[in-house]
Chains A and B, each alone.
Chain A
Amino acid sequence: MKTIYIDGPLDAIHLDDVKEKLKEADAHLGDIITLDCTDMSYICSSGLRVFLQMHKDVTEAGGKLIIKGLQPLIKNVFDMTGFGHIFNFE
């Protein structure tokens, strides 16, 4: 079990910071990884792509990625792009 906490806006400015933070999961890819997004205030398409890549990496390694606490406006962006049925939400 590994939880990574993501806060603030996941926009083009903060993208690299979040990518860096997600590296914490590198040693746990075969495990259950939770991205706690309770305090994430925004996501752009580059952010969605980072999440998708993470989902692919974790699934490939035999683990499971869980996205926790998405705010409704952000969940809506996941749904608009069809990512709503790809990820495991909590």
Chain B
Amino acid sequence: MLRELTLHNDVKQIELLTEFIEVLCEELGLDAMLTFNLNLVLEEAVTNVIMYAYPQDEDHTMTLKTWTEQSDNIIVFELKDQGKPFNPIEEAPEVDTTLSADERQIGGLGIFLINKIMDDVTYRYEEGSNILTMKKNIKA
């Protein structure tokens, strides 16, 4: 089961993404919390590309591929863009969730949530593409 979605670098495209994830989760029989959290992860990842990978005034695309592994136990999302090289795992600011409101910094929350929700997140830069791969055990 391989599915693919192409999105432009425009926040309005989040609507298409949400629909794509909801249909996928329904077909996999995932519960409301997992569906909600996967939606959040993908929105954060896609928004990052929209905001940072390309100049705002240029039209570009990114591709989201998704499939399952190990008899549908693991769901994999692979997000690929041809924007400027950016490793969100290493370059995002650290988030300390124990701090008070005053001390909390504004950045890094999106990547933090991706790492928190997914079981395995890897980044590679290959042949001019940023490739972010995110895996989650959906039967645990």
Contacts and interface: CB of A to CB of B under 8 A. Distances in A.
A13 B102 contact: no
Given A44-B44, A73-B36, A86-B101, A49 B106 contact: yes
Nearest to B98: A82
Nearest to A87: B101
Nearest to B99: A82
Contact of A45 (B11, B15, B18, B113): B113
A80 B12 contact: no
A55 interface: yes
Give the size range of B's interface with the partner: 20 to 34
Contacts of B110: 44-46
Interface in B83-105: 95-102, 104
Contacts of A80: 97, 113, 116-117
A13 B14 contact: yes
Given A56-B102, A86-B104, A81 B36 contact: no
Interface string A59-87: 10000000000000100110011100010
B15 A55 contact: no
B90 to A, nearest CB: 18
Nearest to A46: B47
Given A11-B43, A82-B99, A52 B11 contact: no
Nearest to B107: A49
Interface of A: 9, 11-13, 42, 44-46, 48-49, 52-53, 55-56, 59, 73, 76-77, 80-82, 86
